[in-house]
Structure 1
C-alpha cells in the first residue's frame, strides 16, 4: 500500500518523544512492502536538530505549517491509506478534520501517541470538534492506554480500535561499550513536562538526595533552571543516536511515565524498549499493565518511591544487574519487536478497511 502519514517528526527527537516509535513502526512497515510518505511540519526547531541516521525507509516531506496543508492533503488523498497521528504540534485540529473528511474517499486512520491526554481533553470539552471526527475515521490506533483507552474511543463512536504498543528495533538499540564520560549509578532521560516533573522530583531527584554517595545523570530539555542535588549531572538534550551510550554506561536506567500515562496504565513508552535493547537494568515506575510486558523482579525492577530506588541501588550488585538486563533484552527480542508491531498494524489496517464504505460498496455490487 501507499501510505501517507502526518506526524510530529521522524527525523528529529528534539522535543519529540514519539520519534523512536515512528521510526520503528514505519521502518518495519516498509520492510513489509509498503511505500510510506511521512509529512512533518517545520516547527519547534526540529529541523535544526535533526538526528543522525538513515530514514530512507520513508519519503520524508517537511512542509510549512498552515500554508502547505492543502497541498499535503492533495497528495494524501491520492494514496491508498492516510494516517493522522496525534500531537503533530501545529494545525492539529485542522488536520484532524481534513483527514476525517478524506475517509470518505480513502481509508483514513487516527493514530494516537498519547490517548490518555487526547481522551482527557475531549472529555473536558464538550465542544471539542474532534468528538465529531472520531466516528468518521476508518479506525483508531493507539500506542497504549489499554482497556480504558479502548473503551474511551469506542464510547466516542470509533468504528474500530487497535492497540499497537511501542517496541524494540534491535538494529537501532543494542549494547555498546560503556562511555566513561557517561558512567553513573542511575540515568534518566526525559524532557521537563508539567505532568512529569513532580514524578521526577519524587522518584529521581529525591532518590539522589537520599543517596548522596551515588551519581545520577539527567538528560533531556528544560531542566536548566531546576534546583538539583549536587550528585545529579544534567547533560541537556540527548539525541537518539546517543541513547545506547547512555543506557550502556549507567548502572541502572530509570523510566518515569507522565502522570496521565501512568494513571491509565498499559502504556509502555519507547524508553523502556530502548533500554531493553541495550540490555541494561531498568528501574521502572509502577503502572497498571507493566507485568503484561515484563516480569517485575526478574526482567525489570518496579519502583514506587525514592526509597525503593535507594534500596535497589544497595541490593543489586553488578552481576545481578547484568542478569536482569540480559533477561530484559531476551524478553523484548522475543515478544516486543517493531517487526511484530508492524505486522499487527498491517493486520489492523486490513481488517478495518474491510468495513470502509468503498470496500462495502464494492462487495455489494459484486
Structure 2
C-alpha cells in the first residue's frame, strides 16, 4: 500500500514519545513492502534536536504551515491508499478536515495520546480532534484498548475504533550484557501528574540507598526539584542510546500519567522497550496492565518506596532474571513492531474488505 502519515514528529524524539512509536511501526511496515511518506510540521524545538532527519524506511517531507502542507502535498493525499493523521499534529482539526475532503483512500486517526484526548474532549478542548471529526474518520487507531474503544464508537460515533499500542523494534532493544551500573532507573519526560509517584518510587528509594547509584533520563524537569545526590540526571537521551540505558539498570521504573490510569489499558512504550532489553520492570498499577504482563511473573507492581525496597531486598538473582526473561518472551511474541504492523494491516483490511 501507499501510506501517508501526518504526524507530530518522526525526525526528533526530543520531548515526545511519538517519534519512537512512528519509527518502530514504519520500519516494520516498510519491511513488509509498503511505501510510506511522513509529513511533519517544521518547528524550531524539533529542528534543534533532530536525531533521525532522514529515515531509511520512509520519505519525510517537512512543511512550515497549513498552507504549505495543502499546496505542496495534496497530490500525496489524493493518491494514497491510506492516510493517517496523528494526535497532537499542529492545527490537527484543520488538517483532519482537509484529509477527509481530499483523500480518496482510507482515512484514519492515530491517537498516541488517547486518554489525554478523551480528557480534552470532556473539557471541550478541541486542540487536534473534535467529536464531529472522529465520526468522519473511517478508522480510529487508539493507544488505549478495553472499554475505551466502545466509548469512542458509542459516544463519539467512530465507525470503527481499534487498539494499536506502541511497540518495540527488537533490532534496537535487546539484552547486551552491559554491566549493571545503576540499581534503579527511569526514562521519561517530566509530567506534573507523574511526579508524585516517581518521587515515591525512584527519588525516595535513592535517598534510602545512599551508597547505590540511580539514573533518570528525561527533559523538562523543573530546576526546583530536590534531587538526591546519587541520582544522575540526563536531560535528553536519543533513542539510539536507550538500549544501553536500560541494560545499565538492575531494575527499571515505569510511572503512568493520570489520564492513562483513569482510562486504563494504555501501555507505555517504556514497558516494551525495557522488557525487550531483559530488564525487570517495577511499575505503578492501572486497569489492564495485567492483560499486558502477568503480575509477579513478568512485572512487579509498587505503590511506594517500601514496596520497591522489598523487591530489591527479597527477590533473589534467579527470580529477578526469570522475571525479566518472562517479560521479554511476552514482548517478542505480542509487542514487536512486526506484530504491530501486521495488526495495522488487519485493521485496514477490515475497513477496505469488510466482507472477508
Normalising by structure 2, what TM-score? 0.92
1:250 is displaced (CA, Å) by 0.5
1:66 is displaced (CA, Å) by 3.2
Quote the Cα distance in structure 1 between the aligned partners of 2:192 and 2:100. 30
1:164 is displaced (CA, Å) by 1.2
Partner SS for 1:166: coil
Decide whether the 8 Å contact of 1:84 with 1:96 is kept in 2: yes
1:8 is displaced (CA, Å) by 1.3
Decide whether the 8 Å contact of 1:179 with 1:245 is kept in 2: no
Deviation digits for residues 246-279 of structure 1 (CA, Å, limit 9, x no counterpart): 1111110111111111221111111111111111
Normalising by structure 1, what TM-score? 0.89
Quote the Cα distance in structure 2 between the aligned partners of 1:58 and 1:146. 31
1:54 is displaced (CA, Å) by 7.4
Cα gap change, 1:126 to 1:37, in 2 (>3 Å): closer
Equivalent residues in 2 for 1:1-366, closer than 5 Å? 1-51=1-51, 55-70=55-70, 71-88=72-89, 90-102=90-102, 105-125=104-124, 130-178=130-178, 183-223=181-221, 225=223, 226-354=225-353
Deviation digits for residues 5-49 of structure 1 (CA, Å, limit 9, x no counterpart): 011112221112122211121111222221110111112522332
Cα gap change, 1:96 to 1:149, in 2 (>3 Å): same
Quote the Cα distance in structure 2 between the aligned partners of 1:73 and 1:154. 32
Decide whether the 8 Å contact of 2:120 with 2:126 is kept in 1: no
1:67 is displaced (CA, Å) by 4.0
Quote the Cα distance in structure 2 between the aligned partners of 1:281 and 1:261. 22
Partner SS for 1:280: coil
Cα gap change, 1:214 to 1:262, in 2 (>3 Å): farther
Cα gap change, 1:44 to 1:301, in 2 (>3 Å): farther
Decide whether the 8 Å contact of 1:100 with 1:134 is kept in 2: no
Quote the Cα distance in structure 1 between the aligned partners of 2:296 and 2:268. 19
Quote the Cα distance in structure 2 between the aligned partners of 1:53 and 1:300. 35
Quote the Cα distance in structure 2 between the aligned partners of 1:136 and 1:44. 32
Aligned residue pairs, count: 352
Decide whether the 8 Å contact of 1:140 with 1:158 is kept in 2: yes
Quote the Cα distance in structure 1 between the aligned partners of 2:192 and 2:102. 34
Quote the Cα distance in structure 2 between the aligned partners of 1:231 and 1:318. 24
Decide whether the 8 Å contact of 1:145 with 1:261 is kept in 2: no
1:157 is displaced (CA, Å) by 0.6
Which runs of no fewer than 5 residues in structure 1 stay unpaired? 361-366
Deviation digits for residues 64-116 of structure 1 (CA, Å, limit 9, x no counterpart): 1334221234422221111001012x22232122223335x332101100111
1:124 is displaced (CA, Å) by 1.4
RMSD: 2.2
Quote the Cα distance in structure 1 between the aligned partners of 2:134 and 2:115. 15
1:340 is displaced (CA, Å) by 1.4
Decide whether the 8 Å contact of 2:197 with 2:304 is kept in 1: no
